[in-house]
Homo-oligomer: A and B are copies of this chain.
Amino acid sequence: MTSPAVRILLCDDHAVVRAGLLALLGSEPDIEVVGEAGSGEEAVALAARLTPDVVLMDLQLGEGIDGVEATRRIAATGVHVLVLTTYDTDADITRAIEAGATGYLLKAERPEELFAAIRSAAQGRTTLSPPVASRVMARMRRPLPTLTDRERDILGQLSQGLGNRDIARALFISEATVKTHLGRIYDKLGVDTRAGAVAVAKEQRLLP
């Protein structure tokens, strides 16, 4: 006997991308798209109602909750979420994985890889795009500095262009504390100026 088709729910805010996935997946007999969502909220609701085998989730969703939050909620219900997104920064990958994603694919991936990843995800097996896998391995080998929550707060204020005094006031701490945090942030990001820190923060998408 043949196993039933893998049931898929799409979530992407771009109609063009949804149409593309629909078209590509339509050519695969063992994959069936059972629903489409254009927002995170919609995806969470549809996932609960349709209980698909796999949700294909974009991380950037425009309005409303983002892909990470949607992934968290859907994964919590036991449904497999396969992230399909454009960026492969450490921060995005880390957030998606800790939110419970089953796999992480890049949109630049060849369609065949996508099909394979979907079949894997349906069985709970993990698939990572090669560049993503590389980053994960690198991270394991040399545990890249992870910013603490407080450090992210500081970095956020810094990215507004604020001086130490203003950051201190905004976060209700002393200037000395701000300087201490900044020093550690520089260390972790491998820079030695505030401008450099902001550059890395934006580049690596460390801030929302």
Interface string of A1-39 (1 = CB under 8 A from B): 000000000000111111111111000000000000000
- Indicate if the CB atoms of B198 and A202 lie closer than 8 Å: yes
Q: In the complex, what's the smallest C-beta–C-beta distance from A112 to chain B, in angstroms?
A: 10
Complex CA–CA separation, A20 to B114 (angstroms): 15
Residue A176 at the chain B interface, CB threshold 8 Å: no
Residue A159 at the chain B interface, CB threshold 8 Å: yes
Complex CA–CA separation, A194 to B14 (angstroms): 35
Residue A81 at the chain B interface, CB threshold 8 Å: no
Interface string of A165-197 (1 = CB under 8 A from B): 000000000000000000000000001111111
Residue A107 at the chain B interface, CB threshold 8 Å: yes
- Indicate if the CB atoms of A23 and B19 lie closer than 8 Å: yes
The one of B19, B163, B195 in contact with A161, judged by C-beta atoms closer than 8 angstroms, is: B195
Copies of this protein in the assembly total 2
Complex CA–CA separation, A195 to B160 (angstroms): 8
Residue A147 at the chain B interface, CB threshold 8 Å: no
- Which B residue sits closest to A195, measured CB to CB? B194
Complex CA–CA separation, A84 to B15 (angstroms): 13
Known: A19-B23, A20-B18, A202-B202. A13 touches B108 (CB 8 A): yes
Complex CA–CA separation, A108 to B195 (angstroms): 32
A109 cross-chain contacts in B, Cβ below 8 A: 15
Residue A142 at the chain B interface, CB threshold 8 Å: no
Complex CA–CA separation, A112 to B18 (angstroms): 15
Q: In the complex, what's the smallest C-beta–C-beta distance from A156 to chain B, in angstroms?
A: 10
Known: A16-B111, A24-B19, A108-B14. A199 touches B202 (CB 8 A): yes
Complex CA–CA separation, A195 to B197 (angstroms): 8
- Indicate if the CB atoms of A196 and B17 lie closer than 8 Å: no
- Indicate if the CB atoms of A199 and B18 lie closer than 8 Å: no
The one of B17, B158, B163, B203 in contact with A202, judged by C-beta atoms closer than 8 angstroms, is: B203
A195 cross-chain contacts in B, Cβ below 8 A: 158-159, 161-162, 194-195, 197-198
8 A-B interface contacts by CB (under 8 A): A16-B17, A17-B20, A17-B107, A19-B19, A19-B21, A19-B111, A158-B195, A162-B195
